[in-house]
Chains A and B, each alone.
Chain A
Amino acid sequence: MAAHVTGIGVVTSMGLNASENWEALLAKRSGVGPLTRLQTKHKVPAGEIKQTNEELAAMLGLDSKKTYSRTALLGMMAAKEAMNDAGIDPTKMKVALISGTSVGGMDLSEQYFTDQHEGKRAHLRNLFEHDCGASTLRMANYLGIKDFMTTISTACSSSANAVMLADRLLNCQGFDAVVVGGTDPLCKFTINGFTSLMILDQEQCRPFDDSRNGLNLGEGAGFLVLQREVGNQKPYCSLLGYANANDAFHQTATSANGEGPYLAMKGAIEKAGLQPKDIDYVNAHGTGTGNNDLSESTAMSRLFGEQLPPFSSTKVYTGHTLGACGGIEAVFCAMMLKNDTIIPTFNFKTPMHELNVTPETEVKTNAGIKTVMSNSFGFGGNVSSLIFFL
């Protein structure tokens, strides 16, 4: 029996809840712009959430004297929204929390090292939030989840992989609900990291466009509530299939023939008991780097042949939110299915010279979508695909 998506929650540079995000998606209003909050010398656009940690903590009603990483704060906000949306109460049912993140409490670690460098008093408590699991623990405490929690860190596919474990927990371990998704903050660490890889575009990213020149980073969190049994409320959609594959090609680059992405998409379709022709829309990983978009398109062409379904990348709205993107885009897919609407890559102009594929460029209502696939690919060759069904 498939797991139902009974609640959603999302925080991105477009807005702090699902309805603000949906409004921006429909209006083709991107959250990517100049950095104003984060202090860095790199002049790159990013999907930055303008609230400070203190402001986020206040909105969550947290004790201002306690230390919370930005990862934990964003995750709390999205997961809480998803739980409220589903109406689940962890004191009355068996609930698990699975979160994906790539940098954990890095914003606080940066603070510690900066204070130390500047000869200020560096607070040890800032380092205790460093490991990825610490953010999940903070979230679990805030959400009141005690039965099970864990953290997955497979770079940019972290939260998609979390969704797979959620389904297995629901199948085998008698959980009533799993709160699952991912969270990652913008921080100097990733901005400098991707700068060192020379794959940050100095302008807004252009997924699948011949002129694409790299990705924009973003921050945020996206969480789902998955349940086997649903009450009176109609679920958004069901999780029908998923697969994780390893590209096994290079530490950071994806193979030219897109072997890993091909295997992940194919595996997810098989797990769902479907054929490629049954997929009505693909929410692509589509980061805007030369390598990813060509490799992903090649894999899609291999799998779907001439019948390439409508596809788009929503990273032009959010930037690449790394460990959170699988969760955020799963929420977007749920909203697209519920509203029967495809959200476009609105700034696409010119197909890649190597491969002529064109993403959706306009918002498509009454799209007739029942089955959608969401791709998330990460460093280390870890690639994953999820399939949701209305």
Chain B
Amino acid sequence: MQKVYIANTSCISPQESFRTEEFFSDWKGVQTDTDQLHAIEPDYKTTITDAGKRRRMAHLIKMGVSTSLDCLTQADGTYRMPDAIMSATAMGGLEDTEKFLRCIIDNGEELLNPSNFIQSTGNTFGGQTGLLLGHHGYNVTYAHGGYSMESALTDAMLQIQSGDINNALVTGADEITATEYEVMRKMGFWREGRQMGEGSNTFLLSNDPANSFCELAAVTILHDVDSNNITEEIAKFAENNGMAPEDIDLVLTGTDCDKIADKTLGTSNYPTTDYKQWCGQYGTKSGFGLWLGSQLLNKGIAPKGNQWEKRQLKNIVVYSEYRMNDYTLMLLKKD
């Protein structure tokens, strides 16, 4: 079975993460005075240069297309053509969905704007990326709540592992909208320090280890796990991948509302760092965790301000949880 490596990444997040190393130089960026972490967006004229193509793109699509294209940009400015494009979004074009719904309901099914409808569908940024690249290959979008990113990665890994393709571009993106924020607020979700976030995370996965950031060794989605057993599940995950639990140098955690699992993990022997403090809560947030993990391994650094700051990281587990009693685990390795 072919191994899968992360050949390149690109990230738009609430941090200085796009085409800059700023985030890693100061590790600041944790905002505690707000419950909405909006993405720091690039000047889209520089990322999507064709004004005609850009003008109809909504916020989510601009983010998704920008990191996708950026991840494929080669030294001479041309794009590397991937074998396949997999995309992930929990909510799709939520802003356009809302606009179109309001159009229908508030205007009595009159004055319908077709652009809102077209952009509401989940596969828009994946399709647009293919369109801009002139890419005729495999192109699929996963929309499966908090496990959309893992689903897209699974598809890409299956195809690389089996030798069907050599590489794949995988992008996960979601956006903050006022309505979703408000609905979650009414549920009391943003109390207790939780923050809504957004962003787009892209990975170029490849079977070629040369110049790669690290290996993406496993992606697992666990359904119906008892929160009290989460550390055992991580140990089992390590063993299934040929490692001892103590070989895990760091667990990057993206927890959501499962307090029992949080407590269990917090009191375990695993060194943990919360990745969500930098990106906030959104459906494809685990993409940020994966981006952070791959950056740490590539740079050979650890998050600042931790007791294991000086530790040499080799194996990182990205652990995520999203509004359901299910969890995902992703394993990154660097020899």
Contacts and interface: CB of A to CB of B under 8 A. Distances in A.
Interface of A: 40-42, 102, 104, 109-110, 113-114, 117, 124, 127, 130-134, 136-137, 140, 146-155, 161, 165, 168-169, 171-173, 188-189, 192-193, 195-197, 244-252, 259-260, 263, 378-382
Interface string B104-116: 1110110011100
Given A188-B104, A380-B121, 10 more contacts: A110-B104, A117-B105, A131-B143, A134-B145, A172-B158, A189-B120, A193-B117, A196-B114, A251-B131, A380-B123
Given A193-B100, A250-B131, A133 B109 contact: no
Contacts of B155: 165, 168
B90 A133 contact: yes
B141 A192 contact: no
A247 B126 CA distance: 12
Contacts of A102: 121-122
20 contacts: A41-B108, A42-B109, A110-B101, A110-B105, A113-B105, A117-B105, A131-B145, A133-B143, A150-B144, A151-B143, A152-B143, A153-B122, A153-B123, A196-B112, A246-B130, A251-B131, A379-B127, A380-B126, A381-B127, A381-B131
B140 A248 contact: no
Contacts of B108: 41
B244 interface: no
Contacts of B126: 154, 380, 382
Contacts of A252: 118
Contacts of A379: 118, 121, 123, 127
Given A378-B123, A382-B140, A124 B114 contact: no
A251 B329 CA distance: 35
Nearest to B111: A196
B142 A150 contact: yes
Nearest to B90: A131
Contacts of B223: 140, 146-149
Contact of A113 (B90, B101, B134, B224): B101
Contact of B144 (A132, A193, A263): A132
A114 B128 CA distance: 32
A99 B123 CA distance: 15
A133 B148 contact: yes
Contact of B140 (A124, A154, A173, A196): A154
Nearest to A41: B109
Contacts of B137: 245-246
Contacts of A124: 183, 186-187
Interface of B: 56, 85, 90-92, 97, 100-106, 108-109, 112-114, 117-118, 120-124, 126-128, 130-131, 133-148, 151, 154-155, 158-159, 161-162, 183, 186-187, 221, 223-224, 283, 324
Contacts, number: 187
Contacts of A196: 112-114, 117
A351 B4 CA distance: 50
A140 B142 CA distance: 17
Contacts of B158: 165, 168-169, 171-173
A192 B162 contact: no
Contacts of A249: 131
A102 B120 CA distance: 10
B136 A247 contact: yes
B217 to A, nearest CB: 15
Contact of A197 (B117, B136, B162): B117
A360 B217 CA distance: 50
B123 A155 contact: yes
Contact of B145 (A117, A137, A192): A137
Contact of B142 (A110, A151, A188, A244): A151
Max chain B C-beta neighbours (<10 A), residue from A102, A117, A380 = A380
A378 B118 CA distance: 11
Smallest CB-CB A-B distances: 3 pairs: A380-B127, A133-B145, A153-B122
A192 B112 contact: yes
Contacts of A189: 97, 100-101, 104, 117, 120
Contacts of B147: 133, 150
Contacts of A171: 158, 162
Contacts of B118: 197, 251-252, 379
Max chain B C-beta neighbours (<10 A), residue from A148, A151, A155, A245 = A151
Nearest to B138: A244
Nearest to A147: B223
Given A113-B105, A196-B112, A246 B128 contact: no
Contacts of A260: 136
A109 to B, nearest CB: 6
A381 B139 contact: yes
B127 A382 contact: yes
Max chain B C-beta neighbours (<10 A), residue from A42, A134, A192, A246 = A246
Given A137-B324, A192-B112, A114 B130 contact: no
A387 to B, nearest CB: 16
A181 B71 CA distance: 32
B325 to A, nearest CB: 11
Contacts of B112: 192-193, 195-196
A246 B104 contact: no
B167 to A, nearest CB: 16
B126 to A, nearest CB: 7
A138 to B, nearest CB: 11
B276 to A, nearest CB: 19
Contacts of A130: 91
A154 B87 CA distance: 10
A148 B223 CA distance: 8
B135 to A, nearest CB: 6
Contacts of A381: 127, 130-131, 139
A211 B121 CA distance: 29
B60 to A, nearest CB: 14
